[in-house]
């Protein structure tokens, strides 16, 4: 994906398709920046990563006709996560965006209609390569931000076909099982309860929670 300017710099012939995709990239980036609150390299990468992932699994209308066919697993909880949410329309509340907190700049796009899944990983060397595109920009983040807009997909990402079995209790739709924890009495839904020594307990009672009651 090249901007008209970048294309001219390189003397490339800009095709009509590229111009159209560039226009939609700009629109998607604008929308994502509005939601996220600022323009940053993570927004550019997240938008491009999402466009690529959706294209690879054959989802072209993620917020419309295809919205029920799509689940995205996101492996990082940083800037790019908001961009992925913005472009795909998937969200935790709709159960269509699953946050797998691996701390990796990667996401997997699942087409429930075709069962095709693609994991897109951001390449580590893209930061280094960014400098080749705009050597005149001294600020590292500004350089990355501009370069990520024009670098080809192959220099930014690695794509792998993967198999994802989405557990039935993780699927969008009506809530499943709802049961009281034998220890704290609080209700747990969607089979997030655990059975230990014949007792049904919530995750907080089973493993210790993230909070301490004062
Ligand atoms: Zn950001
Ligand atoms: Zn409990």
Ligand 1 centre to CA of 149 (Å) is 15
Ligand 1 centre to CA of 169 (Å) is 32
The pLDDT assigned to 13 comes to 52
Q: Which backbone phi and psi does 113 adopt, to 5 degrees?
A: -75, -40
Which residue spans within the chain are E strands per DSSP? 70-74, 97-99, 106-111, 116-122, 157-162, 178-180, 187-189, 194-196, 199-201
Ligand 1 centre to CA of 80 (Å) is 7
Ligand 1 centre to CA of 111 (Å) is 27
Ligand 1 centre to CA of 176 (Å) is 35
Which residues of the chain does CATH 3.30.60.20 include? Answer: 174-207
Check: CATH 3.30.450.20 for 4-162?
no
Walk along the chain (214 residues) and give the pLDDT tens digit of each residue: 444 444 444 444 556 666 667 779 999 999 999 999 999 999 999 999 999 999 999 999 999 999 999 999 999 999 999 999 999 999 999 999 999 999 999 999 999 999 999 999 999 999 999 999 999 999 999 999 999 999 999 999 999 999 999 999 999 988 888 999 999 999 999 999 999 999 999 999 999 999 998 9
Protein residues with C-beta less than 5 angstroms from the ion ligand 1: 40, 42, 79
The pLDDT assigned to 23 comes to 74
Ligand 2 centre to CA of 178 (Å) is 13
The pLDDT assigned to 213 comes to 87
Q: How far apart are CA 46 and CA 188, in angstroms?
A: 33
Which residues of the chain does CATH 3.30.1330.130 include? Answer: 4-162
The pLDDT assigned to 132 comes to 95
pTM: 0.88
Check: CATH 1.20.150.20 for 174-207?
no
The pLDDT assigned to 17 comes to 65
- Ligand (nearest to CA of 41): 1
- Ligand (nearest to CA of 36): 1
Ligand 2 centre to CA of 201 (Å) is 5
DSSP-assigned letters across all residues of 95-147: T-EEE-----SEEEEEETTTTEEEEEEE-TTHHHHHHHH-TT--SHHHHHHHH
């Amino acid at each position: 994906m090249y901007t008209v300017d970048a294309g001219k710099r390189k003397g490339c012939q800009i095709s009509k398709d590229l111009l159209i995709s560039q226009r939609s990239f700009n629109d998607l980036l604008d929308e994502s920046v509005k939601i996220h609150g600022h323009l940053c390299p993570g927004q550019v990468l997240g938008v491009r990563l999402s466009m690529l992932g959706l294209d690879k699994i054959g989802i072209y209308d993620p917020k419309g006709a295809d919205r029920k066919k799509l689940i995205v697993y996101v492996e990082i909880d940083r800037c790019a996560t908001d961009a992925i949410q913005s472009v795909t329309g998937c969200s935790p509340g709709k159960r269509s965006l699953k946050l797998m907190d691996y701390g990796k700049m990667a996401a997997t796009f699942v087409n429930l209609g075709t069962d095709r899944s693609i994991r897109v990983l951001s390449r580590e060397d893209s930061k280094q390569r960014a400098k080749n595109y705009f050597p005149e920009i001294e600020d590292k983040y500004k350089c990355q931000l501009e370069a990520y807009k024009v670098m080809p997909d192959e220099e930014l990402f690695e794509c792998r076909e993967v198999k994802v079995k989405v557990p039935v209790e993780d699927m969008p739709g009506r809530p499943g099982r709802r049961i009281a924890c034998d220890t704290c009495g609080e209700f747990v839904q969607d089979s997030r309860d655990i059975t230990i020594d014949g007792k049904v307990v919530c995750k907080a009672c089973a493993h210790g929670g993230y909070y301490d009651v004062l």
